Chains A and B, each alone.
Chain A
Amino acid sequence: MTNETERPAAEEPVQGAVQEKIEEVVAIQETVPQVTVVTEAAPHEPPPEDPRPRRVPAWKKPEYRFIFRLTALALILALLAVAAAYLILPDKAYSASEKRMLTGPPSLTLDSLASGRFMDEIEDYAADQFPLRDFWMKAKTTFFRVMNMRESQGVYLLSNGGLAERFDTPDEQNFTETTDAVRAFSERYPETPMYFLLAPTAVSMLEDLLPKDAVTESQDAYIERLFATLPEGIRPIDVRAAFRSADDPASLYYRTDHHWTTKGALFAYTTAKAVMGIDSDVTFSGGVASNSFRGSLTGKSGFTVDPPDELTIYLPENAPSTFLYTVNYPDELRKTASVYDLDSLVSDDPYTVFFGSNHPLIEIDTTADTDRTLLVIKDSYANSFIPFALTEFARIVLLDPRYYYDDIDVLMKAESFTDVLFLYNVNTLAADTSLKVVLTNIQ
């Protein structure tokens, strides 16, 4: 290839000279304006050397020599530094700040190469293993804050530095179907008192901290609409007043996660006790179990939150000394003597310290001196709530409709619960399509 590439007009003896010679000629011609316009070249003549007039290119001006050299140097160094860091730094398996596994090196096969999967994986790998990833994320969050842009992927950056997930317009049909199913379920068991605790989330309880005019549906309106549909057999548990009158409402929600804090759950339990007629003098005291909790919202939004959240566990101070309980996870054929899964504290999701993770069914049997038994139909907000209620029920069954595929009526008849509690947060319930399926499940 090479001869022809470098010597465009080998027939011409003058231009058949060495490569460098040509470059000199070109260099001169680039600086000398030419005005000849040749539109048609005669056959078998070499092409005209750049026929248009040309100014001195910027890179040839002596006054720019430094800035261009320095820019060249900076880019080369940046490229080399990152490329070297890729090679030297070991791969990380997990990002604590984003709460997710990072991509490892992909395997190269002919198949993955032809389909382009290998390339996609390399892209993920290169982005995930970028040196000082956390530092770059922080830089980006700072830039967003400076630009006063406080929303990313449906997550708002609150003015206290925490995060809150937007409440999106619920689907009307799903709302009707869900509330109809709840009502029908209650009417099938008229003897069983039922309760509905619908927890607001940070986006409405901390609305003072949202960006001004932030776009979010009203959770208040949703809660009131839902409570209005409940039949007589289901008593609403409205925690909003208690939350709003708290000394520090922000402490009732994690700054990095979509859940309420254990303190928020305790506030809700205090309200629920009154409605459910639980007359108990058990008090609780809390202790910090983890101070490095980075919840789901940091990963979702890409905003970094510093410092990470604390996760508190409350224990009863004055439970009867003989009080004991067992927790049974039928799906895992596993029994424990604690609602806490302490290993989870160091996992990627410390919130799973409550009952490990989400299970279709959890059965708790206690030595509490009562006949009351409780079925909780719930989302994950209940996981930090239920530990407060252990001493008040002889048996508690937690049912998560998102994972439950059995017949709820069989369960109701077999267990004959004295109480049924629905416990959801607004965001989950509004998007949930599993509750109506489980409640109307007729097999």
Chain B
Amino acid sequence: MVFSSVTFLFVFLPVTLLLYYIVPKRCRNLVLLLMSLVFYAWGEPVYVILMLYSILLNYGMGRLMDSLRHRKKAVLVFTVILNLFILGFFKYYGFVLENINALTGLQLPVRKISLPIGISFYTFQALSYIIDLYRGKFRAQKNLISFACYITMFPQLIAGPIVRYEDIERQLSVRSFSMERFGFGAMRFIFGLAKKVLLANLIGALFDTVHAAGADVSVLTAWLGALAYTFQIYFDFSGYSDMAIGLGQMLGFSFMENFRDPYAAKSVTDFWRRWHISLGTWFREYVYIPLGGNRVSAAKHVRNILVVWALTGLWHGASWNFVIWGLYYGLLLLFDKYVWQKLRVPGFITRVLTLLMLVIGWVIFSADSLTGVVTSLTSMFGFAARGLYDGDGLYYLRTYLPLLVLEVIFCLPFVRRVRMFFMKNGYLQAFLYLFTLALLFVSVSFLVTQNYNPFLYFRF
């Protein structure tokens, strides 16, 4: 089930909230667990079993590790390998076999395994638990329901943020509820819903049109397509994170922020402090720093960065596109650290170049294949089949101009400052309130009649 659907909003959510708040506080984790299983089973009835297996594995190994004085490391290694094996099998099996076939000329039969939704997210959550438990950051969770609740919690089950156990341990046992907190979460949820339904889906239609045209585009059209995807992926994903965080607050949880105005980044390095923060944090904590981080020789640091970014790319999907996309960022980050920062280029120029690099990054990310990447990039940089601009490009520009302006505005950090300004003043608060309701209203009108509601982060 996705948040931006009538079924979630008007059937699942009211039932869940009603049950959650009428039962005594001590039963709320159980309600949350059961409803999360329903939520997951909605899209993946069979894979619920896989998720339950993952829960039992990590819960049991956690308890075992806690009871041992020695050999904790063996338990850790075993559990991590098992987790990675599950993820690897369901996500990368086909990819690996195809590549083996291509390299060796073998004809190993490749069976298509449908990807269990959210497996990349919940596996990483489970890994954060078992690794930090080994590091002694906390004691093992003895309550199976609380632990299962952590793994399955429906607000962040499908598309993050990747909540580390460390951050949420206390909230699993004690959390505060209030109407104000619920309203705070509701507002966040509505903003996220509007981002997804209005900003992401509408501009996504432009990307799809350009994407379908393939190489038969002008330079103008190619750029419009690339920009459309740049906006779509941000509003899609950050909207989903907003909804997750908002729902969390409505249920009494505080999740970490996942996005902080990424397109206002001062550099590529800065961008990755602002984009999908929970994933970046995860890789830093559990891969980059254990490898030695940047406190090693330059050569090792380069290796560390490239390893982390190849893995980050691969995490996004089993395809070479994503690996190249990850390495692209790895190289950019190294270039930024070892070359660019020493040149003392004016900040303005760095910002503009950063945005350019991001758009190119999304072209790599969004293409179906490596040839698709080449086609799009050559079209963008002057070698388009239809010249500099054509009637189609002008039409798309004209049609989508108001929307593009809106998308740009809502990427800027000053929007938050405007919102705070409105929050501070009693009268302006009323406007903000009405605006929130209007967003809910328009978003619902789109959900009811939606014929276009893709969900980009379902693949991960």
Contact = CB atoms under 8 A, between A and B. Distances in A.
Nearest to A151: B399
B433 A5 contact: no
B311 to A, nearest CB: 25
A22 B174 contact: yes
Contacts of A26: 170, 174-176
Interface in A350-370: none
Nearest to B425: A63
B403 interface: yes
Interface string B3-39: 0011101110110010000000111011000000000
B159 interface: no
Contacts of A43: 136
A149 interface: yes
A284 interface: no
A78 B440 contact: yes
B138 A47 contact: yes
A86 B10 contact: yes
A79 B440 CA distance: 11
A184 interface: no
Contact of B179 (A22, A23, A69, A213): A69
A414 interface: no
Contacts of A58: 184
Nearest to B143: A4
> Top 4 nearest A-B pairs by Cβ distance?
A68-B183, A72-B183, A213-B395, A139-B445
B442 A139 contact: yes
A140 B45 contact: no
B303 interface: no
Interface in A52-95: 57-60, 63-76, 78-80, 82-83, 86
A71 B442 contact: no
A123 B7 contact: yes
B290 interface: no
Contact of B423 (A64, A122, A148, A212): A64
B403 A149 contact: yes
B135 interface: yes
B10 A19 contact: no
Contacts of B186: 71-72, 74-75
B138 A140 contact: no
Interface stretch (B318-326, B351-359, B448-456): B448-456
A139 B448 CA distance: 11
Contacts of A79: 9-10, 13-14, 17
Contact of B391 (A57, A66, A122, A215): A215
Interface of A: 1-2, 4-8, 19, 22-23, 26-27, 30, 39-44, 46-47, 49-50, 57-60, 63-76, 78-80, 82-83, 86, 113-116, 119, 122-123, 126-127, 130, 133, 136-137, 139-140, 143, 147-153, 211-215, 302
B174 A40 contact: no
B202 A149 contact: yes
A310 to B, nearest CB: 25
Nearest to A65: B180
Nearest to A123: B7
B135 A40 contact: yes
Given A82-B10, A114-B46, A148 B402 contact: yes
B433 A70 contact: yes
A41 B175 CA distance: 22
Interface of B: 1, 5-7, 9-11, 13-14, 17, 25-27, 29-30, 42-46, 135-139, 142-146, 169-170, 172-176, 178-184, 186-187, 189-190, 202, 249, 254, 391-392, 394-396, 398-403, 423-424, 426, 429, 432-433, 436-437, 440-442, 444-451
13 contacts: A5-B143, A26-B174, A39-B137, A59-B183, A65-B180, A75-B190, A86-B10, A113-B45, A114-B46, A116-B42, A127-B448, A212-B395, A215-B396
A139 B446 CA distance: 9
B9 A211 contact: no
B225 to A, nearest CB: 14
B11 A83 contact: yes
Question: Is chain B's interface secondary structure helix, strand, loop, or mixed overall?
Answer: helix
B65 to A, nearest CB: 12
Given A4-B142, A30-B176, A66 B10 contact: no
Contact of A64 (B42, B173, B180): B180
A116 B187 CA distance: 32
B145 A1 contact: yes
Given A26-B176, A75-B440, A79-B17, A66 B395 contact: no
A69 B180 contact: yes
A306 B216 CA distance: 37
Given A133-B448, A136-B445, 20 more contacts: A1-B29, A1-B143, A1-B145, A5-B172, A8-B170, A8-B174, A26-B176, A58-B184, A63-B426, A67-B429, A67-B433, A68-B182, A71-B187, A75-B186, A79-B14, A126-B5, A127-B448, A127-B450, A130-B448, A215-B392
A108 B6 CA distance: 20
Nearest to A133: B448
Contacts of A6: 25-26, 173-174
B193 to A, nearest CB: 11
A143 B283 CA distance: 42
Contact of A59 (B43, B173, B181): B181
A126 B450 CA distance: 12
Report which residue of A44, A57, A76, A214 has the largest number of chain B beta carbons within 10 angstroms of its beta carbon.
Answer: A76
Given A27-B176, A130-B6, A211 B25 contact: no
Contact of B30 (A1, A65, A67): A1
B184 A41 contact: no
Contact of A123 (B6, B179, B187, B396): B6
A41 to B, nearest CB: 6
Given A212-B398, A213-B395, A72 B182 contact: yes
Contact of A149 (B17, B172, B184, B400): B400
A189 B446 CA distance: 55
Given A8-B170, A79-B10, A211 B395 contact: yes
